[in-house]
A and B are shown apart, each in its own frame.
Chain A
Amino acid sequence: MNPRDPLSRVLYIDLEHRRFWTRDRRDLFERWLGGTGVAIQLLKEELPRDADPLSPKNVIVFAVGPLTATYPFGSKTVAMFKSPLTGNLGESHAGGRSATSIRLAGYGAIVIKGASDTPIYLVVDESGAYFRDASALWGITSTLTVGRILREATLGQGYRSIMRIGRAGERLVRYAAVMTETYRHFGRLGLGAVFGSKKLKAIVIRGGGSVPIYDKREYREVYKQVFELAVKSDLMKKYHDLGTPMNILPLNKIGALPTRNLTSARFEEAEKISGERIAEEKLGRRLACSNCPIACIHLAALKEPYPDEPYFYKTTFISYDYEPIYALGTMLGISDIDGLLKLLDVVEVYGLDAMSTGVCLAWATEAFQRGIITRRETIVELKWGDYENYIKAAVNIVDQPNEFYEVLAKGVEKASERYGGREFALSFGGNEMPGYHTGYGAHIGFLIGSRHSHLDCAGYSLDQKLKEPLPPRELVERLIEEESWRQILSSLVVCFFARGIYKPEMVVKALKTLGYDYDVDGLRDLGREIYEEKQRLKHELGFKPEALRPPERVLETESPHGTLKIEYFDEALKVYREMLSRIISQG
């Protein structure tokens, strides 16, 4: 790497003693690039393996990489921590401006340790961290209001990022998110609750500096090539036009759109909440992450009349994507656009993860219908499509007015262990299901992916390309190969949506301008090594692959590849466990 690149500077922050220091970790950034690769190593160094995720012993790592702020799509921050939802490795990626702000403040990673005894927020700039009192911000209903206050209270408009939690994080909902720039999220696996447990309300990161480039002439050339591929080819256009909700109709058509807690994989009213329909009726604005020419963030403008005065309206901008529409729309049988948007807004305002919230509410609705739980537990009647009651229930997950909601705030696995209905609790390794019932690839991907996310290895994509399912061993190998390459993308760190642009050859070329000497094979090897490091850390944190199994519901509802067979899962998971034990024994 370029010796003048400040990427190797790591900012360490100790919340308990209100101290910070920086260390040059060239050793890590030379060896592991950045992002995921470096974050695993920092977590290995700092995290006591037995730490309770909501105790001061938990550690949060934010990491960016060489392509952050230097190349288009280098706009994602990787967060790593111990997840309070699964009790194992937590990893979540967010767009917005946090990545470029961290990089242009002159850091490659930020490590946050300990806990504060009173609410605080942090301001980070090139000189370090400032500890500011957040008592007055604690308990504010809306994350949007918190953002508004911090925008006024801190400097650096246009050069900064404002990460914050909502009430869900304060109340330690195990799937609370951290929001950044209002509409992007470290959504999954409960980083918001870890912030809450540390009494850390927000982090403002201000970065207006620059990164010295190793080969300036070639850099300008390669940047332009990436830019032109992005804007002149069709590789990214779909993300700009309709955004991720473009998937609603095609997935519905093939019968892969989980509906009403996956009692069906088709939603008869999908057209009403499709990407096309929302864009036509509600699209109000598109936003981009910093250094992304595409602008996939779609905001709906919801105009609502005030009931107390004629011709008096408020217009709310609400971000929507495929996954929230699946989780809070089709999974709950909601086809009313305005109702869906209002529910999305509440989830955003309180800082919940949309996917986990939707899956939890879908399970609760089915459990309610079957009489496993009653109004005594749910307080409001839960009925498919009744968005008003779902809004109340989502608020209850945050407020936790009774034992039921306290348990539901711990995730669908815990809730179904306590109340029953495990067979229709859509949990994979303790994480709530993403929105793809495309076949074995998707579900085995959710199970064996390091984050139990559809983005780990994109099995949903493989399913849609294949006419016939692969043999289990081949499927597992393909998924792990994809996940290994994605370790490179998330170490650079580039957005996965740009994976069609950042083919290995392009990555080699871009890295060369920054002073890195890799070839394609070297990168692939490094991807596998990072993957293996991650599995070893998961093992040390107590990951039990033998406990993985698909929810029974997945085997009942027909997929585009027919009814899925448990024997196939058993075989695939056996192959996976063999591979895992080989990796662990090599460690």
Chain B
Amino acid sequence: MNPVKRLEIVDPERCVGCQLCMYACERRFGDAGFARSAILVRSVGGVERGFTVIVCRACQDPPCAKVCPTGALTPRDGGGVTLNPSKCIGCGFCVESCPIGAIFWNYEVNKPIICTYCGYCVEFCPHGVLRLGEVKGE
């Protein structure tokens, strides 16, 4: 089996807040902006204090899958989750269950935005903040 990928934050102190990762995530769909972006860069109480990067860390035992009432979110082998949108009823429990706030909301379709661990954002991080890593067993 191929190793399972996930996004890793190498060092948030290197982040300059350019948000290129967020734009890259939206560009997966060919558009510009943030509406379907699964990653968020925000300041830690003002830009002078630096930034925090919020993205799914591909938990081994994901709480979001546990609270999903319809089985739309299912644990992925090796860590993280996959979303079956046709099963999702848009209840938003997954958003509430994620303690790091890494599940975002697509208001257009009223369903969660789930990181697919594709690593497209990493290609556009100019300052070595992000890396596509492999999930290691615990």
Contacts and interface: CB of A to CB of B under 8 A. Distances in A.
B108 to A, nearest CB: 9
Given A158-B41, A182-B46, A295 B127 contact: yes
B47 A209 contact: no
A290 B126 contact: no
A47 to B, nearest CB: 31
A183 B35 CA distance: 26
Contacts of A157: 42-43
Interface string A97-114: 000100110000000000
Contacts of A159: 34
Contacts, number: 97
A230 B126 CA distance: 10
A385 interface: no
B34 A183 contact: no
A544 interface: no
Contact of B35 (A181, A210, A292, A317): A210
Contacts of B18: 288-293, 295
B40 interface: yes
A217 B124 CA distance: 17
A299 B42 contact: no
Given A158-B40, A210-B36, A285-B48, A291 B20 contact: yes
Interface stretch (A219-227, A419-427, A553-561): A219-227
Interface of A: 69-72, 100, 103-104, 144, 147-148, 151, 157-159, 181-183, 208-213, 216-217, 219-220, 223, 227, 230-231, 285-295, 299, 317
Interface residues on B, range: 20 to 34
A148 B35 CA distance: 26
A99 to B, nearest CB: 12
B127 A220 contact: no
A317 B33 contact: no
Interface of B: 16-20, 22-23, 26-27, 29-36, 40-43, 45-48, 50, 124, 126-127
Given A148-B46, A158-B42, A299-B48, A213 B31 contact: yes
A72 B20 contact: yes
Nearest to A317: B48
A148 B48 CA distance: 11
Contacts of B20: 72, 227, 291, 293
Nearest to A212: B31
A181 B19 CA distance: 14
Contacts of B27: 219-220, 223
Contacts of A287: 16-17, 47
Contacts of A293: 18, 20, 124, 126
Contacts of A212: 31
A295 B16 contact: yes
Given A103-B33, A183-B47, A210-B34, 16 more contacts: A69-B32, A100-B19, A104-B33, A158-B19, A158-B43, A216-B29, A223-B27, A231-B126, A286-B16, A287-B17, A288-B18, A290-B17, A293-B18, A293-B126, A295-B126, A299-B48
Nearest to A158: B42
A280 B49 CA distance: 20
Nearest to A104: B33
Contacts of B17: 287-288, 290
Nearest to A184: B47
A183 B26 CA distance: 27
B35 A208 contact: yes
A285 to B, nearest CB: 6
**Which are the 9 A-B pairs with shortest beta-carbon distances?**
A216-B30, A210-B33, A158-B42, A288-B18, A295-B16, A210-B35, A317-B48, A70-B32, A293-B126
Nearest to A214: B30
A432 B23 CA distance: 38
A158 B46 CA distance: 10
Given A291-B19, A295-B16, A216 B47 contact: no
Contacts of A317: 48
B34 A151 contact: no
Nearest to B18: A288
B39 to A, nearest CB: 10
A315 to B, nearest CB: 10
A209 B40 contact: no
A364 B5 CA distance: 63
A291 B18 CA distance: 5
A288 B127 CA distance: 11
A104 B34 contact: yes
Contacts of A210: 26, 31-36
Contacts of A213: 30-32
A76 to B, nearest CB: 14
A211 B33 CA distance: 6
A216 B31 contact: yes
Nearest to B41: A158
B124 A209 contact: no
Q: Select the residue from A182, A213, A217 with max chain B CB neighbours within 10 A.
A: A213
Contacts of A70: 32
B27 to A, nearest CB: 6
A288 B33 contact: no
Nearest to B23: A291
21 contacts: A69-B23, A71-B32, A103-B33, A104-B33, A148-B45, A151-B46, A182-B46, A182-B48, A209-B35, A211-B31, A211-B33, A213-B31, A216-B30, A219-B27, A223-B27, A287-B16, A288-B18, A288-B19, A291-B20, A293-B20, A295-B18
